[in-house]
Amino acid sequence: MTSADSSSPSDFIRDIIEKDLRSSKHQGRVATRFPPEPNGYPHIGHAKSVCLNFGIAAQYGGVCNLRMDDTDPSGESTEYVESIIRDVKWLGFDWQDRLYYASDYYEKLYQYAIELIGAGKAYVCDLNPDEIREYRGTLTEPGKESPYRNRSAEENMALFERMRAGEFPEGSRVLRAKIDMASPNVTLRDPIMYRIKKVNHYRTGDKWCIYPMYDFAHCLSDSLEGITHSLCTLEFENNRPLYDWFLKELKIHPRPQQIEFARLNLSYTVLSKRRLIELVEKGVVGGWDDPQMPTLSGMRRRGYTPEAIRNFCERIGVSKNDSLIDIALLEDCVREDLNEKAPRVMAVLRPLRVVIDNYPEGRSEEFDCPCHPKNPEMGSRKVPFSRVLYIERDDFHENPPKKFFRLAPGREVRLRYGYFIRCIGVIKDPATGEVSEVHCTYDPETKSGFAPDGRKVEATLHWVAAAHAVSAEVRLYDRLYRVADPLAEGSDHTEHLNPKSLETLHSCRLEPSLAQAAPGDRFQFERIGYFCVDTADSKGQRLVFNRTVTLRDAWARLRSRGEKIVDFEK
């Protein structure tokens, strides 16, 4: 026997499923579900769950449903439902006709509640919220039984009907499961099943004024859909006995099994809906789809591909360890995907004017440049060359530091797919002393970048012909936070925001082929990084690019290492 198929992932959840399959526990069926509450935009943490649930269904020939877990009308909306549908689809998953809503089960859930009341397992409690909390006890002390705990089934039935009819104000009564006020598991101390909320529901409108709680609704929704394995995050581990209690007391036969795994935490970002809403509402970011956001819509706009995200979700694995994934892994995933897919292009972000003194004025020529160095099938594009060019400011140093081997006075470098040029002088702004123009000569023998005499050059620079360049705005995104764990030790994450998480460059000069770029198109700006055309702000003549991720940069690494040494010496 060969070792496990390395193309399909394996983890403790799949182990359980395979065991269940062998023992025919669910008649060989596998059914999962992705059950978001539509009260926010899905983020990369949701993607982990989406990939897990849909991935498992696909791997074992099962199904995965998409279910809106909409049991609390405050905060839920159609906008969020739409964002979830759009993003899960974009990730590449298909639930066919199995889009469900917990709110479609309200009537059935109500009947289940009636059944529990009839069995003496649920009661209407008149305690107010404060009293309920007091009666619940603490982590170390048992709770006290509610004085309403032993009402007759008839009385409970009548009261519950009147709750539904809207006869009582919010907060005045709840329906509770009668379990055990002394349970060491606080979840089991007569948990609330229904509360009164006189709030309009985005789907059921004002039809209901009582709404089921998560614990009651979730297990039953799962069983109603024939879910076999109900995967959720670790914080629900305490709730599992309650999940099982409802199903057992209602004598539901094929019972779904809840299995908990660790939610995703990503370094230098924050992945809680509450925190993300805060960023949106405080205006720290431009919205849920701001490219700085770890939301799927933000990442899409930033230029991430679904493939990269899926690969990431597979690479991080699934376990019960509370972990913090290094964002470098995510970045590696996009680079890996975009390295293959993104056409190469030249763009100068911070232009420095270069004049080729021995290149005739008014003359220009075109080079045919491959769109991908390894994949000829991606074709080529024409790039014009002329006497005045732009190169990257960073690619020239009047007094080059050690190990800097780009352009400097007297040095020769190659212009990618162009000519060798040698710097013969600089012109400085008399006011600032800053280099404003570099003068060079070119070697006509080195056309396309080859020297017939075989001489070598240390660097190859990207460039753009000044007269032919198109202008663009480029947004350089970096990590949103300065610290790896912005929530560490209960600190306020907004104190750790990275002030440089967005730098906008307005006078970027791009090769003319980019004038045709359409919103969403992705490119590699050679030697810089991966960029995509912004889908919201790039329109008509106004070109806006977002940086998805930088290229790995050995020079930048050397430089920052140097800085560290300098700091150390201080």
SS3 383: strand
Measured CA to CA, the distance from residue 160 to residue 458 in angstroms comes to 81
Provide the CA 397 distance to its chain's centre, in angstroms.
39
Identified binder of RNA from the candidate list 25, 98, 144, 197, rule CB under 7 A: 197
Q: Examine residue 237 and tell whether it contacts RNA (CB under 7 A).
A: yes
Stretch that binds RNA, among 19-27, 105-113, 353-361, 410-418 (CB under 7 A): 410-418
Shortest reach from residue 76's CB to RNA, in Å: 9
C-alpha of 359 from chain center: 49
3-state secondary structure 17-35: HHHHHHCCCCCCCCEEEEC
Q: What is the full DSSP assignment across 311-373?
A: HHHHHT---SS---B-HHHHHHHHHHHHHHHPPEE-EESSEEEEEETTSPTT-EEEEEEES-S
Q: Are 210 and 103 in contact (CB under 8 A)?
A: no
Q: Is 557 in the site for RNA (CB under 7 A)?
A: yes
Any contact of residue 185 with RNA (CB under 7 A)? yes
User: Which phi and psi (to 5°) does residue 22 adopt?
Assistant: -65, -35
What CA–CA distance (Å, rounded) separates 559 from 570?
17
Chosen residue from 239, 295, 305, 538 binding RNA by CB under 7 A: 239
Query: Residue 77 interacts with RNA (CB under 7 A)?
Result: no
Q: Which residues from 344-363 bind RNA, rule CB under 7 A?
A: 344
317 near RNA (CB under 7 A): yes
| 201 sits near RNA (criterion: CB under 7 A) | no
Count interface residues toward RNA (CB under 7 A).
91
Please report whether residue 448 would count as binding RNA according to CB under 7 A.
yes
Smallest separation (angstroms) from RNA to the CB of 277: 12
List the alpha helices (DSSP H) in 104-178. 106-118, 129-136, 153-164
Q: How far is the CB of 144 from RNA (least distance, A)?
A: 12
Which CB sits closer to RNA, 484 or 536? Answer: 484
For 117, half-sphere exposure in the C-beta direction (CA atoms, 13 angstrom radius) is: 25
Q: Tokens at residue 371, please? A: 């769109």
324 part of the interface to RNA, by CB under 7 A? yes
- Binding-site member from 326, 437, 443, 537 for RNA (CB under 7 A): 326
Among 238, 358, 491, 507, binds RNA (CB under 7 A): 238
Which stretch in 16-24, 78-86, 327-335, 436-444 sits in contact with RNA by CB under 7 A?
327-335
Options 384, 449, 512, 519; binder of RNA; rule CB under 7 A: 449
Q: Which one of the listed residues 67, 178, 203, 273 is annotated catalytic?
A: 273
Does 200 participate in binding RNA (rule CB under 7 A)? no
8 is a site residue for RNA (CB under 7 A): no
Alpha helices per DSSP H over 435-489: none
Q: Collapse the DSSP code of 245 into the 3-class scheme (helix H, G, I; strand E, B; otherwise coil) and give the result.
A: helix
Minimum CB separation of residue 448 from RNA in Å reads 4
Residue recorded with tokens 């979840």: 187
Strands 364-370 and 380-386, by their bridges, are antiparallel
Q: Which of 30, 196, 309, 514 binds RNA (CB under 7 A)?
A: 196
Question: What residues from 123 to 182 belong to the interface with RNA (CB under 7 A)?
Answer: 127-129, 132-133, 136, 138-140, 170-174
Q: Does 459 bind RNA (CB under 7 A)?
A: yes
Q: Within a 10 A sphere around the Cβ of 118, how many other Cβ atoms?
A: 13
Stretch that binds RNA, among 69-77, 103-111, 243-251, 536-544 (CB under 7 A): 69-77
CA distance 110 to 183: 26
The only residue of 94, 162, 207, 234 in contact with RNA, by rule CB under 7 A: 234
Q: How far apart are CA 267 and CA 251, in angstroms?
A: 44
Cβ at position 336, least distance to RNA in Å: 7
d(CA 285, CA 518) in angstroms, rounded, equals 24
**Cβ–Cβ < 8 Å for 122, 177:** yes
Is residue 552 involved in binding RNA (CB under 7 A)? yes
- Nearest approach in angstroms of CB 489 to RNA is 8
Kindly tell me which residue out of 49, 71, 535, 538 binds RNA, with binding defined by CB under 7 A: 71
Contacting residue, 121, 335, 479, 522, with RNA by CB under 7 A: 335
One residue of 7, 321, 432, 541 binding RNA per CB under 7 A: 321
263 is catalytic: yes
Least separation in angstroms between CB 541 and RNA = 27
Which residue out of 98, 164, 263, 275 is catalytically annotated? 263
Under the binding rule (CB under 7 A), the answer on residue 339 touching RNA is yes
Strand 31-34 relative to strand 63-68: parallel, antiparallel, unpaired? parallel
Q: Nearer to RNA by C-beta: 57 or 132?
A: 132
Cβ proximity of 354 and 386 under 8 Å:
no
**Cβ atoms of 59 and 90 closer than 8 Å:** no
Q: Give, as one character, the DSSP assignment of residue 262.
A: P
Of residues 469-528, those binding RNA (CB under 7 A): 524, 526-527
For residue 323, give Cα distances in angstroms to 319, 474, 491: 9, 34, 19
Among 56, 88, 213, 480, which residue interacts with RNA (rule: CB under 7 A)? 213
β-pair partners for 210? 196
Residue pair 510/346 in contact (Cβ under 8 Å)? The answer is: yes
Known catalytic residues? Answer: 37, 263, 273
